[in-house]
Amino acid sequence: MRVAAILVAAGSGTRFGTHTPKQFLRLAGKPVIRHAAEALARHVDLLQPVGDPALIGQALAGLSFLDPVPGGASRQGSVLAGLEALEPHAPDIGLVHDAARPFVPAGTVPALIAALKDAPGAIPALPVADTLKRATGLWIEATVPREGLFRAQTPQAFRYALLLRLHRAAAASGTSDPATDDAALLERAGEIVRIVPGSEENVKLTYKEDLPRMERALASRLVTRVGTGFDVHALAHARPLILCGVPVPHDRGLAGHSDADVGIHALCDAIYGALAEGDIGRHFPPSNATWRDADSAQFLAHAAGRIAARGGMLANADVTLICERPKIAPYAEAMVMRLAAILGVEPGRVSVKATTTERLGFAGRGEGIAAQAVAAVVVPGA
């Protein structure tokens, strides 16, 4: 059984009132759409984003997803675009999810897929608990009975072939009453749609005040972990000097199996330590010829990937280079920018600075360069 998910990210978010569409705003350091994509990716074989390809590519960099396709004039048109793009992959089940819903509870997708065993469609929904009023402006006209009413959520799950057929038929009919969700198309066709329990956590980002509320909710479920790292390499002739991913003019470079970038190596160890995943040698053994003269940026990219794989984010990183020469200050800003780019975070989360040993020890004698680093990562708690 092949499961695909359409991640609908084509909306402009006019009710939200920002120039940037709400699904691309940052929530706890990551775009809202990325939270949604990471949650879906744990359960699906194919992820098909729909929306601005450039914005989506930037927001989902490093994740596995199909080439984004532009959205349509309505949500219904955007979903059809995603379904058409998936047709060559022939999925059995199609999920449709709003990119503005960043929190998908772990049990929701399995429950939806299980429900499709005896129904062609299934959605998560919550029973309406509040008293409902129908009003004109600020004047109440009537109380609406709430019995049997539910609040629909996404992702919604369907047998793919049926949903594609119904969307094509709706588009061909040119109806002026587009469906506000995909279950409505099945309802109009007389097909059965099952309800599985929804969750109050599965909220949709709609208004500006929703974003800080989501930040607070996310923070309450996260744990901050701190790791430290230290590395040292001797200076040697006929080697370029690379520090924190930046070439630094000097008469000698650092000796080592890779490019011997002590700043990145120390930072990798700090991240791996925060995740309790060993050290850089465990992931990239110096005995492996693959890493001879390798660019250490790929080691740091791997460490960043491990944070993402745990559903976490880098809170901040601090690197201290220890040497008498060369002077680091002229290159510190470039180092910050380079590390931030590799890690996929804002430069404000990264610090690079330098100190000397007052001419004491190997660093003081100009025999080598050392680095120490601290990294704080935020990951979901147990």
* pLDDT, mean over the chain: 93
**CA 62 – CA 301 distance, rounded (Å):** 9
Q: Is the C-alpha dihedral spanning 92, 93, 99, 104 positive or negative? A: negative
Homologous superfamily of the 3-219 domain (CATH): Spore Coat Polysaccharide Biosynthesis Protein SpsA; Chain A (3.90.550.10)
Q: What is the pLDDT of residue 312?
A: 86
More confident residue, 28 or 317: 317
* pLDDT over 90, % of the chain: 81
pLDDT category at 13 given cuts 50, 70, 90 is: low
**CA 183 – CA 187 distance, rounded (Å):** 6
% helix, strand, coil for the chain, step of 5:
35, 25, 40
DSSP 8-state class, residue 66: P
More confident residue, 275 or 14: 275
pLDDT category at 29 given cuts 50, 70, 90 is: confident
The CA–CA distances, whole Å, from 381 to 157, 264, 333 equal 28, 27, 34
Q: Name which of 19, 22, 336 is nearest 210 in CA terms.
A: 22
Q: What is the pLDDT of residue 54?
A: 95
Q: For the chain, which residues make up each domain, given as ranges?
A: 3-219, 222-380
**How many other β-carbons are positioned within 10 Å of the β-carbon of residue 56?**
26
Q: What is the pLDDT of residue 361?
A: 94
* 173 membership: H or E segment, kind and range: helix 160-173
> Which CATH number does 222-380 carry?
3.30.1330.50
**Span 80-122, pLDDT tens digits:** 999 999 999 999 999 999 999 999 998 999 999 999 999 999 9
Q: Name which of 115, 379, 373 is nearest 267 in CA terms.
A: 373
Q: Is the C-alpha dihedral spanning 193, 194, 196, 198 positive or negative? A: positive
| Strand 46-51 with 3-9, pairing | parallel
Q: Name which of 116, 78, 128 is nearest 100 in CA terms.
A: 78
Q: What is the pLDDT of residue 221?
A: 77
CA angle 105, 111, 114 (to 5 degrees): 155
**Span 230-289, pLDDT tens digits:** 999 999 998 999 999 999 999 999 999 899 999 999 999 999 999 999 999 999 988 888
CA atoms within 13 A on the CB side of 365: 4
**CA 330 – CA 368 distance, rounded (Å):** 20
**CA 272 – CA 279 distance, rounded (Å):** 6
Q: What is the pLDDT of residue 293?
A: 84
**Span 289-309, pLDDT tens digits:** 888 888 999 999 999 999 988
The CA–CA distances, whole Å, from 371 to 22, 225, 232, 265 equal 40, 21, 6, 8
**Span 156-190, pLDDT tens digits:** 999 999 999 999 999 998 776 778 899 999 999 99
Q: What is the pLDDT of residue 16?
A: 62
Q: What is the pLDDT of residue 91?
A: 97
Predicted confidence (pLDDT) at residue 382 exceeds the cutoff of 60:
no
Q: What is the pLDDT of residue 12?
A: 66
**Span 38-61, pLDDT tens digits:** 999 999 999 999 999 999 999 999
**How many other β-carbons are positioned within 10 Å of the β-carbon of residue 10?**
26
